[in-house]
Structure 1
């Protein structure tokens, strides 16, 4: 595809998804629709087009046409958007069909192990491997994008859906297509339950990965075969287009809300797929059940500020139309951030992170451990990237001084060898707990995964470590513990044998009496370490045989984050941004390539309090200090347009801020 046809390249990205309901098409007015978008200064919109319901007159008998098409047509809406230079994405959903279509073709349906289908309000779930998704969905796509001048296409609820909109779980699909496909691949019956330790389910995860990849390739060939100019969302096979994600909430999701949702989503997209547009949306509503009321407007603004600070675009998702929405409480804040970006959008094009640390993530991650490390790095003001396993091997690691592997278990031999080579060349690998204990096929390794860690043998893994501590030694490197001699742990601990060159830190105090108070003391201190350091080539491997990230994510005690902060700074030799920023302020640094300038973002998260997002507290008299090769020519706030007080000395740039509201964006020109 010619570069001139890739309209999304170098386009400041401000998307709104109006998830149009059937009834919204009754009286929709194209000019009003566009005028509403222009109030936000949106330049990309996503609207419902095809799949469960056709929002246009369709000629396909297996495509259920909406009976509410009495307002302006999709063609009129698209034409009006294009006249206003607004690109239009078609939202499609092939996870379900209307009941009458199912009754004609019951073989298309998802089938539970008990032989039951999922019929939710007359919409029946269909299987990815069935004839509808494999054969008829591509025909629907071809019709939609050849009869309408869409600029992009998005697939909603793709893959293997095992829950309905009420989050009821139905289990692995046992339709004939799945049975046949799995038997052809592995000569085995489908697993009955989702159990990551079950060898049969491990094969099923590989089956899902392969079938999903094959399906995506088929879809992309269909789309680009007739519309090579179209932008495909989440096109990871070709690594182009946009990555669409959501920052959302759910009523039954464990609390607290993940306050770095937008930062996390944007960071991995920007770091791992630098050629793609990161479009992480702030979902306006609390959950499926309550789509017509908005979450906190300050929560939505925080998400958008995090998107920008981490190099992504802006995205806002509502149910229905902008004009008939009954809760518009989020509009003012969304417009404020969108208008700021409309004025300064060029500043966010062609930028790259200054990060020298990479944090590993991916579909098989221990998310609790990963999120704990995300907080460790963010709240200690380290500049870092997130690399996903799926594409990390295709990227250069040359800019990184350290790579953190947070209990990520299934790693290929190629991946572990790359980590060892990175260490040997002078890098630091921090491997946590069971990282790499299985290969990419989830088969357990019988030898230590990384040579760089200095482990001779994995002896055992104990899960129950209540009342276990580490007795601190080497306190000269752990300056945050002037009056504390213990670090507590919980959950897994890896017992291992190390080579003679590996240095062990701290001493494990095994489970002991904790009640009644009269018998609450320990009598034994072992030689099992809290972490180890092994020289390897020009670098070193650091092994943490327990899970501080998961513990901190769950409990949040400073006893844990101070341990990691000291380890990062005084053992791994990594330097954060200095100054007096409180932990609730996120800091990022991006190079504006080709412009000899840097963007510093500060995002104020003080409004997050318990389970609520309030307006952040305005912070005063902040100071940010980080290395710079030379004195800057100018330091200007993009928010206010004013010069920022600063000084340069001994290779360090100090920037002073009198106050910080939700976020600050500072352009440093050299």
Structure 2
């Protein structure tokens, strides 16, 4: 089949009913009525795995006992038949992550086994390991039984992982089952199998598990595609549709832009592969009766669609069982997406700045946390200063280069990534030679004491200060503006790499040495050092800039606008061509650029309702202007307000509440 024949290659909207055992008697017609009014064209239904909502004949599967009260004895059959009559697609949710006690006792070789030899049991169910036979072979028998009986329109596999963390958030360590031991020994000969994140070989384990899951996903996808080409697999990077769950959790520090980040990372890597964002309508699994804050939930879906994902809403039970207040705004955004099919058809990224996300499989946990803080601080800085950007996972840099798309950007930002792979170095050097700009912060691009990129302004690294005490009281001196003697001095937080510049590099932000910081009588003695905090150099037709410290981490942790502004000023100087839009919008309004079947598309997302652990109602913004310098024609219509846009060379914007969408035909 061609891409034009596959239903999921066009925009779609989904609704998930995550069913409990007791829900097997649900009224299919009532659920479909609700979905159609909600705006959803697809229904993700619990089909099999832990519990089968159809009369399975496989002895290693469990029929839902509540099916006995259903006249047909077959919820899946009833749902597929009724949905087909209405043109609603049914996708099968499968969960192979656990088995019951009886089957775990019969097949211990299927099960997760801790370093202490114990299985992982939660609420009477035993976790299964993806390396074992249940995932590697029996899974395919279950899929075949479903395909033999029902014309389902796709599959989603829940929690297909190595289950290191259970439902209570407890880290259970790495799996030491015999299949894992054998496979890990083949993957990394001579490497000790770790017990958890604290083990030095844990990053190797994470690469191993990613390889196992990628291979399994590819095999499942090929199997389903051969049997039913019109039924996509919704899962990871190797699937037909990339899945992201937008959710909250009690005790987890909220990253307000998590949904946009994950969708952007997937769409930037493979713009033509659909992404599905399944937004959780409740606060957390233990508190599944409590609906999510509506303004918080709205951000899930708006961030998703702005970056090119298809929206989905997820509830526990059936629509008759829940009273989540967030479902009203969920339906509003879902119907908006449905009603503007042309705008969201083939919506792909169109920013001119690329922000590279650290590779979690490369860095140790503590180092990954530091790099993540740097990434998030720079993410926020770009957003607030209206530099539209796309996110790309670090390992995907060579892929985007090979696709010929890296040259579409004017700037690539590397946030404290550490040493780069040889393929990434080659991609970036070609990018710079072709006229692009690269900005590296922190330890990005350092291998030993040498900087990896040809044309770098750094000759060598001479020392590293990467502890709290080693940078405490260290400052950078900013140049003065508008006749001022000097700018505000900035504290160095996180890490500072002492470097020597090449002779023709330009340098700035000189370092002020550490000095006593208490008692007040002794708070003096900072010395001006001949050490640069900013280096810049032209190379070929492009530029390379280095900030050998961590402005993103500083901004993320302390929030001084000076850290943000120094980074942004360096970014604008390094970039090839314009990368920032011309606007007087407040910094709380994000500008997301895309291109679709409708033309140029601008999403304006109002983040003014952000609070420390959530969102409140955003403050309306009106009468502001916008111009995209690298677009010859500016947007001419606002979809939410249904108004034409006036302006000569720039447009005057309508009132923006939660979000607005501008279109340039």
TM-score (norm. length: structure 1): 0.91
1:71-113 CA-partner distances (Å, limit 9, x unpaired) = 3621110222222222222111222111111011122211111
What is the aligned counterpart of 1:353 among 349, 356, 371? 349
- For 1:179 and 1:197, how far apart are their aligned partners in 2? 16
Structure 2 equivalent of residue 413 of structure 1: 422
1:175-195 CA-partner distances (Å, limit 9, x unpaired) = 111112222333336433445
Structure 2 equivalent of residue 578 of structure 1: 582
Q: How does 1:81-230 map to 2 (within 5 A)?
A: 81-188=83-190, 190-194=192-196, 198=200, 200-230=201-231
- For 2:43 and 2:359, how far apart are their aligned partners in 1? 28
Structure 2 equivalent of residue 47 of structure 1: 45
Q: Could you say what secondary structure the match of 1:411 adopts?
A: coil
Judged with a 3 Å threshold, the aligned counterparts in structure 2 of structure 1 residues 644 and 502 are, in CA distance, closer, same or farther, namely same
What is the aligned counterpart of 1:588 among 589, 592, 595? 592
**Does the alignment pair 1:614 with 2:619?**
no
Structure 1 equivalent of residue 488 of structure 2: 485
**Does the alignment pair 1:251 with 2:250?**
yes
What is the aligned counterpart of 1:287 among 280, 284, 301? 284
Q: Could you say what secondary structure the match of 2:626 adopts?
A: strand
The Cα of 1:375 is off from its aligned counterpart by 0.9
The answer to whether the Cα contact below 8 Å between 2:479 and 2:487 also exists between their aligned partners in 1 is no
- For 2:233 and 2:90, how far apart are their aligned partners in 1? 12
Q: Could you say what secondary structure the match of 2:586 adopts?
A: coil
- For 1:407 and 1:392, how far apart are their aligned partners in 2? 15
**Does the alignment pair 1:433 with 2:459?**
no
- For 1:436 and 1:126, how far apart are their aligned partners in 2? 40
Structure 2 equivalent of residue 313 of structure 1: 310
1:98-134 CA-partner distances (Å, limit 9, x unpaired) = 1111011122211111112111001101111112111
- For 2:51 and 2:495, how far apart are their aligned partners in 1? 48
Q: Could you say what secondary structure the match of 1:187 adopts?
A: coil
The Cα of 1:29 is off from its aligned counterpart by 1.4
1:382-401 CA-partner distances (Å, limit 9, x unpaired) = 12111223433222212111
- For 2:217 and 2:436, how far apart are their aligned partners in 1? 36
For structure 1, the residue ranges without an aligned partner over 5 or more in a row are 439-444, 649-653
**Does the alignment pair 1:668 with 2:651?**
no
- For 1:524 and 1:336, how far apart are their aligned partners in 2? 59
**Does the alignment pair 1:645 with 2:646?**
yes
- For 2:346 and 2:589, how far apart are their aligned partners in 1? 25
Structure 2 equivalent of residue 270 of structure 1: 267
- For 2:412 and 2:220, how far apart are their aligned partners in 1? 35
Judged with a 3 Å threshold, the aligned counterparts in structure 2 of structure 1 residues 228 and 133 are, in CA distance, closer, same or farther, namely same
Judged with a 3 Å threshold, the aligned counterparts in structure 2 of structure 1 residues 184 and 540 are, in CA distance, closer, same or farther, namely same
- For 1:647 and 1:566, how far apart are their aligned partners in 2? 28
The answer to whether the Cα contact below 8 Å between 2:114 and 2:177 also exists between their aligned partners in 1 is yes
Judged with a 3 Å threshold, the aligned counterparts in structure 2 of structure 1 residues 194 and 434 are, in CA distance, closer, same or farther, namely farther
- For 2:550 and 2:567, how far apart are their aligned partners in 1? 11
Judged with a 3 Å threshold, the aligned counterparts in structure 2 of structure 1 residues 222 and 97 are, in CA distance, closer, same or farther, namely same
Structure 1 equivalent of residue 363 of structure 2: none
**Does the alignment pair 1:369 with 2:374?**
yes
Q: Could you say what secondary structure the match of 1:91 adopts?
A: strand
- For 2:465 and 2:568, how far apart are their aligned partners in 1? 25
Q: Could you say what secondary structure the match of 1:453 adopts?
A: coil
- For 1:50 and 1:392, how far apart are their aligned partners in 2? 38
What is the aligned counterpart of 2:652 among 626, 632, 656? 656
Structure 2 equivalent of residue 16 of structure 1: 15
The answer to whether the Cα contact below 8 Å between 1:354 and 1:591 also exists between their aligned partners in 2 is yes
- For 2:268 and 2:307, how far apart are their aligned partners in 1? 9
1:580-602 CA-partner distances (Å, limit 9, x unpaired) = 10111011222234x5x322221
Comparing 177-186 and 106-115, the one that deviates more:
177-186
The Cα of 1:48 is off from its aligned counterpart by 1.2
Q: Could you say what secondary structure the match of 1:398 adopts?
A: helix
- For 2:226 and 2:178, how far apart are their aligned partners in 1? 30
Judged with a 3 Å threshold, the aligned counterparts in structure 2 of structure 1 residues 158 and 436 are, in CA distance, closer, same or farther, namely farther
Judged with a 3 Å threshold, the aligned counterparts in structure 2 of structure 1 residues 149 and 164 are, in CA distance, closer, same or farther, namely same
Task: Give the root-mean-square deviation of aligned CA atoms.
Answer: 2.3
What is the aligned counterpart of 1:495 among 485, 493, 498? 498
1:387-421 CA-partner distances (Å, limit 9, x unpaired) = 22343322221211111111223632011111111
The answer to whether the Cα contact below 8 Å between 1:142 and 1:222 also exists between their aligned partners in 2 is no
TM-score (norm. length: structure 2): 0.92
Judged with a 3 Å threshold, the aligned counterparts in structure 2 of structure 1 residues 455 and 493 are, in CA distance, closer, same or farther, namely same
The answer to whether the Cα contact below 8 Å between 1:509 and 1:522 also exists between their aligned partners in 2 is no
What is the aligned counterpart of 2:386 among 381, 387, 394? 381
The Cα of 1:34 is off from its aligned counterpart by 0.6
**Does the alignment pair 1:567 with 2:570?**
yes
- For 2:199 and 2:528, how far apart are their aligned partners in 1? 33
